[in-house]
Amino acid sequence: MSAADPNCVFCKIVEGKIPSRKVHEDDEILAFHDIHPWASVHFLMVPKQHIASLAQVGPEHEPLLGRMMALAPRLALQEGCRPYPQGGWRVVINTGDDGGQEVHHLHIHVFGGPRPWLKG
């Protein structure tokens, strides 16, 4: 798990080499709109550090993942999801090829908005 992978599209987005529509940015986390959204609200949250997948997460990553999960509801509401319990959103982490992971940089999808969604 290196700081950045020069061949990783999400590392390039984190570094500003590929543009994105940012939702949130701090020292450890970048959140940005998905370029092929499945729902009216669909953004990704990535750690700035390159971690290939959830399968590579260890105890040292617990504070980072905790922050990401705690940040997701605030950003979901900020981006237009209706509040719980009538509203809501979905949080998904695809892991590995069998899990549907297409970009091998840990990322959390946040989906929301009125249903039906394009997928999911």
In a domain, 119, yes or no: no
In a domain, 67, yes or no: yes
Q: How far apart are CA 14 and CA 5, in angstroms?
A: 11
Residue 3 belongs to some domain of the structure: no
The pLDDT assigned to 1 comes to: 44
In this structure, the strands spanning 108-112 and 41-47 are antiparallel
Catalytic residue numbers read: 107
Confirm whether 1 is domain-assigned. Answer: no
Separation between Cα atoms, residue 12 and residue 41, nearest integer Å: 23
Question: Would 69 be classed as within a structural domain?
Answer: yes
Which residues constitute the domain of residue 62? 9-112
How far is residue 49's CA from residue 112's CA, in Å, rounded to a whole number? 26
Domain CATH for 63: 3.30.428.10
Percent residues over pLDDT 70 in the chain: 98
Residues 6+ apart with CB under 8 A from 24: 30, 31, 45, 71, 75
For 18-52, write each residue's pLDDT tens digit: 999 999 999 999 999 999 999 999 999 999 999 99
For the whole model, what pTM was predicted? 0.94
